[in-house]
Amino acid sequence: MKGVILAGGTGSRLLPLTTITNKHLLPVYDKPMIFYPIESLVRAGVTEIMVVTGGNHAGEFLRLLQSGKAFGCTSLQYAYQEQAGGIAEALGLAQEFIDRDKCVVVLADNILGESIKPYVDNFCRQDRGARILLKEVAKPEAYGVPIIENNRLIIIQEKPQFPRSPYAVIGLYMYDAEVWDIIRTLKPSGRGELEITDVNNAYIDRGLMEYDIISGWWGDAGESIESYREAFNYVAEHGANRLVQPV
């Protein structure tokens, strides 16, 4: 299993903090934001990682993370996304690196209060397909929202005005090698981007998507200045990636 951390985008929702740097380099308490997804992956045993980024600050990631050895990475590679073509396009840049392996994809602004190892282990046991993680949240309309019937995923709606479940699809996705064919079939959305929600819906349509509902804390530090503050405060108070497993 290999890991991909997506750290591109313009960070427009955190302006002016992001005027002169990449969102994922901003501090969350005592560390740059991107440290948290790297630590989540390494602690789950995923130590071969690719960081996909773009824009004017890409070189800063190399300066900050270097070979990744300090985090326990056995390999840390970098890819450059030339324009803001969406999360699914960014993931497509990791195809050669992942090859026929399975992968765990994390959005670099997602911070988890618990170990992801149980969920990664569930995906290891899964023959094929994909797996997403859901978290009950107060404002699902800010995220991808799943419709679930009889414990099966029916569809994910991206930032729906009227959410049909209390869950958010968090920014951690697990895929088999079918994902590369799926990405090639995608059409740009209304905002001109290849959407990760369309990738997930393609797996749902093929009957190949599983999910876990996570019990620990989750924050999307890049969703708004308020969510950034919440993530910062959570980490300051509790730390992230605790090794204690939920019961």
Binding segment for ligand G1P (CB under 6 A), chosen from 14-22, 62-70, 118-126, 165-173, is 165-173
36 to 67, 70, 104, 147, 198: CA distances (angstroms): 16, 13, 14, 29, 26
What is the C-alpha separation between 213 and 191, in angstroms, rounded?
29
Tokens of 61: 């990631």
DSSP secondary structure of 175-190 = E-THHHHHHHH----T
Q: Lay out the site mask for ligand G1P across 34-73 (x = CB under 6 A, - = otherwise).
A: ----------------------------------------
Report the residue number, 54 or 171, with the smaller CB distance to ligand G1P. Answer: 171
Choice between 48 and 168, CB closer to ligand G1P: 168
- Spatial neighbors of 181 by CB under 8 A, at least 6 apart, are none
Residues in region 106-125 near ligand G1P by CB under 6 A: 107, 110
Give least dist CB 107 to ligand G1P, A: 5
**Residues 95, 52 contacting (CB under 8 angstroms):** no
Q: Residues of 211-228 as b/e, b for ≥16 C-beta within 10 angstroms? A: bbebebbbbbbbbeeebb
| By the rule CB under 6 A, 178 interacts with ligand G1P | no
168 interacts with ligand G1P by CB under 6 A: yes
Q: How far is the CB of 138 from ligand G1P (least distance, A)?
A: 14
Q: What are phi and psi of 115, to 5 degrees?
A: -70, 140
Can residue 223 be called a binding residue for ligand G1P (CB under 6 A)? yes
In sequence order, what DSSP letters do the residues of 77-119 get, joined into one string? EEEEESS---HHHHHHTTHHHHTTS-EEEEETTEEESB--HHH
Interface with ligand G1P (CB under 6 A), residue from 39, 60, 158, 210 = 158
| Residue 220 in contact with ligand G1P, rule: CB under 6 A | yes
For position 143 contacting ligand G1P by CB under 6 A, the verdict is yes
Q: Which is nearer to ligand G1P, 114 or 223 (CB)?
A: 223
What are the backbone dihedrals phi and psi of residue 148, each rounded to the nearest 5 degrees, phi first?
Answer: -120, 130
Answer yes or no whether residue 130 interacts with ligand G1P by CB under 6 A: no
Q: Which stretch binds ligand G1P (CB under 6 A): 58-66, 72-80, 166-174, 185-193?
A: 166-174
- Contact between 197 and ligand G1P (CB under 6 A)? yes
31-32 and 27-28 as β-strands: parallel, antiparallel, unpaired?
Answer: antiparallel
Q: Using CB under 6 A as the criterion, which residues of the chain lie in contact with ligand G1P when the complex forms?
A: 107, 110, 143-144, 158, 168-171, 196-197, 220, 223
